Chain A
């Protein structure tokens, strides 16, 4: 093959201008460029301004740009545009240099890291002009300051920008003398002339030489940042080219699916399977019409053809890192085999005209500026490029010389292997292996007396915090200024015990805490189950894959409940750093906005492609979640009460049943996920945790499982999640008393996996079934029909051992009793010093002072946590399966938020019109006040969100999900005892509310190490701990989906506030803390709240909904009454005049975030009947709704009128 010679034309480096003001300097530069261009070919530009960004909608520069430089790229934005957005725009435009022309904001180090000087290390390629002789007169109004000063001269400085204010290395500096008796404007005009000349000169130099350097080099020695580089595909490629090329395998053929109207195109590298010679050429052209959609696509085959189509463009070629699940490629192979009748393997990627930021953990990128397009494709197409590095092995296991080694050495081995076992746990293992009986047994089994790798891995998985919840099982000595006590297990004391107590009188809590999800009986013929998981660490590393596998994982928990339930709804609660975070992020962290977007797309793919609607959720922002985001993935499932007379809520596997793994195959994915999530995260966190899920395979597996279940082909199942087969088989074998597994029978994605890797791999989309031998054939046939794997990998036994074989060889054997009971209980101590203001890891801005209600409203509704998420939530299917009687947004235009999701089981074949509602509550912002109060408020909010839709408070169950910063004391975590005490108090809080509201907890989970340890750019250590966060998810029975209540109101309706606390003498809340008179955290923590009274109010409200007197209702949470009123008026765009309590408490009344309150809309003819339901002190009439035309508004005490239309713009446009 002839190598195509392509002359590489040096393209000018792109410059962007950032301007806020009049833009005189910008016009200067643009004019020079224009005249240079007009001079023509003889002096080609070395740099080129391609883009002007103006962050001021009123700048006169906009008009000039449109008139004089119509061809120039132009972005006009509001002043509030975040740096992250600018960075994204610049990345898209491939900007290499930036000129600041009167740009009024300081750029963060994080931003500057993306613009390194092309030749000089330690300085940026961002250039600013400043009207003074720096370092004199930095900041604003420099001419004026200089003019008024004693200085004899004024001056102008052009400098590179660093993260200080006008402090970067100087490129050029000139002075001009002051004149006697001149005015300030004369003085500054002369300065501006000088600016014009200097800036022009510098730019001219750059146009000709392509670069510019600072005056003095030595100043920059202590560089304050390291440039960030995209994962450089070329380096990786070099490695591969240098590695030995062996065999005669066929190279990969690149196929490009070129879109006619888009800038992003799919690429597939394909080759025939099991083929080593070019004997069987594929005639791609003849298949084109069946491979692509010919209406708007074109098929290009081979690197040369692809290169030719893009030879004038700058392109980027991106593909998945090797070894990750590649869904497009798998589907493409399916298509190729349908079309050609042959079997292919493929890898997918994309060709982007332009440039995108990639995640180097999962993607690999090549840019055509470094290397020609032909060369890129030539190199990637080399046959061994996508090979997975697995090597053959001659030993089936390694052993660890445990018995003759000190524990310290053993601990080191544990750390190196990411087992996350403590010294105490290692000692227990060591002592166990030390006993003579065990040693004798091992000898007779032909096993070494030291543990084998697979055995240690099984201990590490089974005893991980993730699987065993050691902290929730620990014995804790608690102490605060008032009391001291010992808790023998937070879970058994505060969660399990009250639930067991309540179950004596609550018959509908069918299965709690023992299965993959809790089961409630809300229907005569069908049970519902609920489970909420977290996927925080994986989402921090790869937000898309993390959230995708998180939600698919919780769907499998539902599938693995009882005899197999069908997931019917998602609930997703997400907590991130502020989306417009500006400042320095420690190395290794993604920007919160990019985490948000990645997680969003993961949830979108997992929910939508599985055909499971997202009916409930929340998105919360706080910079304490910059280190680790919190991603709660919840799911609701349905299962028939019984199948052919067999109850479905219990599992029925017996010794002698086959252990069958169904779904996908096993690779190196996610090894050590369970153990790693039990460690804090740092820069070195293993990448094996990054995984991509495959919703299509899982959907086929779900379809298969439901049919097999209805035919009773299996008698038990569980999902393969954290810990893989080691967890699923280990757990199931506990019931029968043992299992025998042959790991050589497990289907693999590629050869070369060691037995221990097969056993603990967390490859997704798998279930473990227990299949009575006589059913195997039928089950196997069914799996073929659904085109998924099903393989017998072992058998359940009752001999008390987990026996692990690889074909005929025993590679590990563990006593079940020791595996499940041998873990010693942790002993911890907790100390609470009362409410403590949170230590934030980053400096927050000084609060903006607000003056009147309009500003208060706008401030609240513009807060990202409170603002509308509609734009994002709309991208989730909220109603597939047609059961969603209540979806996240309501009203004719579907703009106001609903408080819960309600499902109608009729869609799954159930009789009648009763429904099942799901809602959530959380308020981590109250954790610094007191986590006990925080827990009460979270649970109350979750309950109230159901109650306002018309759900009976006597038919509600709860789910708890704790996400805590590390509560164990250590040198790097000195305040562990405080955080543990916060955990104890939160757990006690949910016990209180469970007993007071009479609502059982039916499921729960905890994640305990939500901390990030890293360093900022200066090398200073940074620790970012998540707020103590408790999510309460509620599930309740709705009596009639035809009578669901939402935020609706209408003309003439009366609005009421139902209140069970009535505390307005001080500000209680979070969102307005900076604005209100300071109430101490202690004052808040001492809130008088009688839970019994609140429950009574809810019961009475339910009675009122049943008698049909309630038109609309809303809960009050963030922002209090103000936000609730706004959201109620939003759907109908109606107005109201309200009366609040006496003047001095007006603000508290409007903005307090007290729990236990409901806003209600009542038709006038029902008002008397409604009022009769409630005692006078618990209801307050606020006003009457009327049509006030445009804009709709809210008037408070006849004095201040708030324009809600401007509020709406902020509320809906914020995110």
Chain B
């Protein structure tokens, strides 16, 4: 299938606010992206099956009350989970960034347990410093992550992109239950207390990728916090960084 005809759906509404940038991330690679309001999705959930990629953007769904992502997850739970097996079977992909990741987490897709009745064991809790923080940080793809279609072929050098969240601290209800095979992306330094410095997870199929940092917000060189002003930046090459991050979305459109 040619890349042009790959259909991408990015959800919007109900307090999401990064849909435009997530949409643009796919459009750099000529993806056919449509924004679908949650209300429209609930009216016709089967829309989801027409997409090769489903993007759940960042934001503050339902004001992030109670637990970020919780209420929206309950809103789409029934329809989403009913269609998910078929969606994955047709080799379609899902990415959830920040609030989107929190929604996926609440839906339980990262519970790598065969027993569906097992209660949830992993979640995104409040950062250990207790605050919302916006900061560009260095991340690294793990060996497990490289097996995911999303992160295939991405260099192991650090990726530089912003985190912008208050609840991004990945915790398991006991240290034994943290499944390292789901660990796809890690921070190079401890930024929020997350177990194993976890920044992003993949599900068992590798097709669902959830992460707290925002690669879609770092796809232009001039968004980088260091302005080059015509001199070489020794520490990190901004152009290269953009190429690596863009590859995440390119990978999704090239999959199958």
What per-residue 1/0 map shows which CB atoms of B25-62 lie under 8 Å from chain A?
A: 00000000000010110000000000000000011101
Task: Among A266, A289, A290, A884, point to the contact of B223 (Cβ < 8 A).
Answer: A884
B66 touching A335, Cβ below 8 Å: yes
A294-B119 contact in complex given A785-B37, A1048-B226, C-beta closer than 8 Å: yes
A891 interfacial by beta-carbon distance below 8 Å: yes
Which of B12, B18, B231 has the most chain A CB atoms inside 10 A of its CB? B231
- Report chain B residues within 8 Å CB of A261: 125
Please, which residues of chain B bring their CB within 8 A of the CB of A887? 225
Given contacts A338-B71, A875-B133, contact A266 B66 (CB under 8 A): yes
Task: Give the complex CA separation of A262 and B131 in angstroms.
Answer: 14
- Number of interface residues, chain B, beta carbon within 8 A: 62
Contact of A879 (CB < 8 Å), options: B16, B121, B134, B235 = B134
B15-A609 in contact (CB<8A): yes
Q: Is B81 an interface residue (CB 8 A)?
A: no
**CB-based contact A875/B13 at 8 Å:** no
- Chain B residues whose CB sits within 8 angstroms of the CB of A1050 once the complex forms: 231
Assess the B225–A889 pair: CB atoms within 8 A: yes
Q: Which residues of B contact A694 (CB under 8 A)?
A: 63
Is there a chain B Cβ closer than 8 Å to A352's Cβ? no
Instruction: Report how far A209 CA is from B148 CA in the complex, Å.
Output: 69
Complex interface residues of chain A between 1044 and 1085 (CB less than 8 A to chain B): 1044-1046, 1048, 1050
B162 and A879 contact, CB distance less than 8 A = yes
Contacting pair A295 B24 (CB below 8 A) = no
The residue that A608 contacts in the complex, of B60, B172, B173, with Cβ under 8 A, is B60
Q: Given A327-B65, A331-B63, does the pair A877, B226 have CB atoms closer than 8 Å? A: no
Which residue of A339, A694, A877, A908 has the most chain B CB atoms within 10 A of its CB atom? A877
How far, in angstroms, from A331 to B74 measured CA to CA in the complex? 12
* A295 near B65: Cβ-Cβ < 8 Å: no
Please tell me if the beta carbons of B60 and A611 are within 8 angstroms of each other in the complex.
yes
Interface pair A891/B225, CB less than 8 Å apart: yes
A1042 close to B (CB within 8 Å): yes
Contacts of A882 in B (CB 8 A): 18, 20-21, 24, 214, 216-217, 219-220, 223
A891 and B134: CB pair below 8 A?
Answer: no
Please determine whether A894 and B136 come into contact, CB atoms closer than 8 angstroms: yes
Binary contact readout A898-926 vs B (1 if CB under 8 angstroms, 0 otherwise): 00000010111000010000000000000
Asked if B221 is at the interface (CB within 8 A of a chain A CB), the reply is yes
Find chain A residues with CB under 8 A from B171 CB. 295-296
CB pair B133 A703 closer than 8 Å: no
B164 contact from A699, A880, A913, Cβ within 8 A = A880
Tell me, yes or no, whether A332 is within 8 Å of chain B by CB.
Answer: yes
Q: Contact at B21–A892, with CB atoms within 8 Å?
A: no
Q: How far is the CA of A608 from the CA of B63 in the complex (A)?
A: 9
Chain A residues lying within 8 Å of B235, measured Cβ to Cβ, are: 892
A705 — which chain B residues lie within 8 A by C-beta?
A: none
- Closest Cβ–Cβ distance, residue A448 to chain B (whole Å): 46
Which residue of A266, A890, A913 is within 8 Å of B227 (Cβ)?
A: A890
A567 to chain B, nearest CB (A): 11
- Inter-subunit contact B60/A879 (CB<8 Å): no
Tell me if A786 counts as interface (CB < 8 A to partner B): yes
Taking a contact as CB atoms closer than 8 A, the residue among A328, A696, A891, A1044 that contacts B222 in the complex is A1044
Nearest chain B CB to A78's CB is how many angstroms away? Answer: 21
Chain B contacts for A908, CB-based, 8 A: 20
Chain A, Cβ-Cβ closest to B160: A892
Centre residue among A608, A907, A1048 by max chain B CB count within 10 A? A608
Q: CB distance B231 to A1042 under 8 Å? A: no
Residue among A296, A884, A886, A1045 having the largest count of chain B Cβ atoms under 10 Å: A296
Residues of B within 8 A of A886 (CB): 227
A604 to B132 alpha-carbon distance, docked (Å): 9
Contacts of A89 in B (CB 8 A): none
- Which chain B residues lie closer than 8 Å to A904 at the CB level? 220, 222-223
| Nearest A residue to B123, CB-CB | A295
A544 to chain B, nearest CB (A): 15
Chain A residues in 8 Å Cβ range of B133:
874-875
Interface check A1112, CB cutoff 8 A = yes
Residue ID in chain A nearest B171 by CB atoms: A296
Interface residues on A, range: 35 or more
- For the complex, would chain B's binding face be called helix, strand, loop or mixed by DSSP majority? mixed
Note all chain B residues with C-beta closer than 8 A to A1046: 227, 229
Complex: A699 Cα to B230 Cα, angstroms: 40
Which residues from A are CB-within-8-Å of B123? 293, 295-296
Q: Which residues of A contact B179 (CB under 8 A)?
A: none
Q: Does B106 contact A (CB under 8 A)?
A: yes
User: Contact: A786 with B39, CB < 8 Å?
Assistant: yes
Interfacial chain B residues near A869, Cβ < 8 Å: none
Q: Is B231 a contact partner of A877 (Cβ separation < 8 A)?
A: no
CB contact between B225 and one of A881, A894, A913, A1163 (< 8 Å): that residue? A894
Across the interface, do B226 and A891 meet the contact criterion of CB distance under 8 Å? Answer: yes
Count chain A CB atoms within 10 A of each CB in B131, B219, B229 and give the residue with the most. Answer: B229
Contacts of B40 in A (CB 8 A): 785
- A334 and B77 CA atoms in complex are apart in Å by 14
Contact A1163 B231 (CB under 8 A): yes
B3 in contact (CB, < 8 A): no
- Indicate if B151 sits at the interface (CB-CB under 8 A): no
Across the interface, do B231 and A696 meet the contact criterion of CB distance under 8 Å?
A: no
In the assembly, what is the distance between CA of A328 and CA of B62, in Å?
A: 9
A332 to B74, CA, bound (A): 12
CB distance from A334 to the nearest CB of B (A): 6
The closest CB in chain B to the CB of A1166 belongs to: B230
**B residues less than 8 Å from A266 (CB atoms):** 66
Question: How many angstroms from the CA of A391 to the CA of B136 in the assembled complex?
Answer: 54
B22 CB to nearest A CB, Å? 9
B79 to chain A, nearest CB (A): 12
Q: How far is the CB of B3 from chain A (nearest CB, A)?
A: 22
Say yes or no for B194: interface residue by CB 8 A criterion.
no
Given A335-B74, A703-B13: A609 and B63 within 8 A (CB)? yes
Complex contacts, B132 vs chain A, CB 8 Å = 604, 608, 875, 877
In contact, A290 and B74 (Cβ under 8 angstroms)? yes
Q: How far apart are A441's CB and chain B's nearest CB, in angstroms?
A: 49
Does the CB pair B222–A879 fall under 8 Å? no
Report the Cα distance A296→B236, complex, angstroms.
38
Interfacial residues of chain B within 65-80, with CB under 8 A of chain A in the complex: 65-67, 70-71, 74-75, 77
Closest chain A residue, CB of each to CB of B124: A293
B135 contacts the other chain (Cβ, under 8 Å)?
A: yes
Closest to A884 in B: B223
Q: Are A339 and B173 in contact (CB under 8 A)?
A: no
CB-CB < 8 A to A135: which residues of B? none
**Binary interface encoding of chain A residues 256-286 relative to chain B, with 1 for a CB under 8 A from any of its CBs, else 0:** 0100011000100000000000000000000
Bound together, the chains give a CA A884 to CA B58 distance in angstroms of 16
How far is A1048 from B234 in the complex, measured between Cα atoms in Å?
Answer: 14
B66's partner among A331, A608, A785 (CB-CB below 8 A) is A331
Chain A residue at minimum C-beta to C-beta distance from B125: A296
Q: Are A696 and B236 closer than 8 Å at their CB atoms?
A: no
List residues of chain A with CB within 8 A of the CB of B14: 700
B17 touches A878 (CB 8 A): no
Of residues 160 through 216 on chain B, the ones whose CB sits less than 8 Å from some CB of chain A are 162, 164, 171-173, 214, 216
Contacts of A297 in B (CB 8 A): 67
| CB–CB A786/B13 < 8 A | yes
CA distance A982 to B16 in the complex (A): 47
Listed A/B pairs (12) with beta-carbon separation below 8 Å: A261-B125, A290-B74, A292-B66, A332-B66, A609-B63, A700-B13, A875-B133, A880-B164, A904-B222, A907-B24, A1041-B222, A1042-B221
Name A's B-contacting residues (CB within 8 A).
257, 261-262, 266, 289-290, 292-297, 327-328, 331-332, 334-335, 338-339, 604, 608-611, 694-696, 699-700, 703, 785-787, 874-882, 884-887, 889-892, 894, 904, 906-908, 913, 1041-1042, 1044-1046, 1048, 1050, 1108, 1110-1112, 1163
Listed from nearest, the 4 A-B pairs whose CB atoms lie closest are A611-B17, A331-B65, A696-B63, A295-B123
Q: 12 new A-B pairs (CB below 8 Å) besides A296-B125, A332-B66, A879-B217?
A: A257-B66, A290-B74, A294-B119, A295-B121, A296-B123, A331-B71, A785-B40, A881-B20, A886-B227, A904-B223, A1050-B231, A1163-B230
